[in-house]
Amino acid sequence: DQQVKQNSPSLSVQEGRISILNCDYTNSMFDYFLWYKKYPAEGPTFLISISSIKDKNEDGRFTVFLNKSAKHLSLHIVPSQPGDSAVYFCAASHRSQGNLIFGKGTKLSVKP
Amino acid sequence: NAGVTQTPKFQVLKTGQSMTLQCAQDMNHEYMSWYRQDPGMGLRLIHYSVGAGITDQGEVPNGYNVSRSTTEDFPLRLLSAAPSQTSVYFCASSYLGRNQPQHFGDGTRLSIL
């Protein structure tokens, strides 16, 4: 049973607009969440994270929002750039074990 | 600064063959891990290690062995390759601690015929 779900396999956005990538989780023990970006033929790279004691974390053009009651988090990219085109993975870990559980990923395409 | 280095980048094996995927990191990270990524799937944890001499199983450990004799190296061994092990394998490392993001290598693409 999938504990971390990214229900949109793909997303297409126009350059300059906002990209919103969504992630849902089922395990209430998860208390730390991360987003990774992956380009073809490369390994994932860490993008941004959020602890469950916060509901928002911002880093430049990237903001992650956490809604604990809904077990939902989202990654906002504003403004979107063609170089943001990649697969984005949501990941979570829980307090009793630090290993990451990944979602299936969402492929973002930013069109010029 | 090389980061996490995986070798080889590509490999084709026949069913039943064995091989070792190499992973080395130069960041003095205590935590190292191996994932596999299959089409339409996220990364699934195979094995991990929190330090030299300490290893443990992840979500999908069957058919794989690991060892951690040094801080830098964390090889993954396929004992008897099966077509179901065709995948892209990623090694990652980080400092210990809950909020330490993992650094990934560029992956090994493995095909089992």
Whether pLDDT at B4 is above 70: yes
Q: What pLDDT does residue B58 have?
A: 93
* Residues A19-76: tens digit of each pLDDT: 999 999 999 999 999 999 999 999 999 999 999 999 999 999 999 999 999 999 999 9
* Residues B49-104: tens digit of each pLDDT: 999 999 999 999 999 999 999 999 999 999 999 999 999 999 999 998 777 889 99
Q: What pLDDT does residue B63 have?
A: 95
**Number of Cβ within a 10 Å radius of residue B104:** 24
Q: What pLDDT does residue A56 have?
A: 97
Interface test with A, best of B43, B98, B109 (most A CBs within 10 A): B43
Whether pLDDT at A95 is above 80: no
Position A98 confidence tier, pLDDT thresholds 50, 70, 90:
confident
Determine contact: A4 vs chain B, CB below 8 A.
yes
Interface size, chain A vs chain B, as Cβ–Cβ contacts under 8 Å: 51
Asked if A99 and B104 come within 8 Å (Cβ–Cβ), the reply is no
Q: What pLDDT does residue A96 have?
A: 67
CA–CA distance, A52 with B99 (Å, rounded to integer)? 12
Give the residue among A95, A99, A75, A48 at the shortest CA–CA distance from B50. Answer: A99
Q: Which of residues 22-81 of A touch B (CB under 8 A)?
A: 32, 34, 36, 41-46, 49, 51
Quickly tell me which residue has 């099966």 as its tokens: B82
Asked if B4 and A4 come within 8 Å (Cβ–Cβ), the reply is no
Which residues touch A14 (CB under 8 Å, ≥6 apart)? A80, A110, A111
Position B19 confidence tier, pLDDT thresholds 50, 70, 90:
very high
CA–CA distance, B45 with B112 (Å, rounded to integer)? 20
Asked if B48 and A51 come within 8 Å (Cβ–Cβ), the reply is no
* Residues B35-44: tens digit of each pLDDT: 999 988 889 9
Q: Which residue of B has its CA nearest to A37?
A: B104
CA–CA distance, B16 with A70 (Å, rounded to integer)? 47
Q: What pLDDT does residue B39 have?
A: 86
- β-bridge partners, A12: A109
Q: What pLDDT does residue B1 have?
A: 62
Give the residue among A42, A60, A58 at the shortest CA–CA distance from A50. Answer: A58
Determine contact: A85 vs chain B, CB below 8 A.
no
Q: What pLDDT does residue A108 have?
A: 98
Asked if B101 and A43 come within 8 Å (Cβ–Cβ), the reply is no
Asked if A43 and B104 come within 8 Å (Cβ–Cβ), the reply is yes
Whether pLDDT at B9 is above 80: yes
Asked if B45 and A98 come within 8 Å (Cβ–Cβ), the reply is no
**Cβ atoms B80, B70 nearer than 8 A:** no
Q: Which residue of B has its CA nearest to A44?
A: B104
Q: Which long-range contacts (CB under 8 A, 24 or more apart) does B49-53 make?
A: B49/B74, B50/B96, B51/B96
Position A2 confidence tier, pLDDT thresholds 50, 70, 90:
confident
For chain B, how big is the Rg over CA atoms in Å?
Answer: 13
CA–CA distance, A104 with A94 (Å, rounded to integer)? 18
CA–CA distance, A35 with A37 (Å, rounded to integer)? 7
Asked if A89 and B44 come within 8 Å (Cβ–Cβ), the reply is no
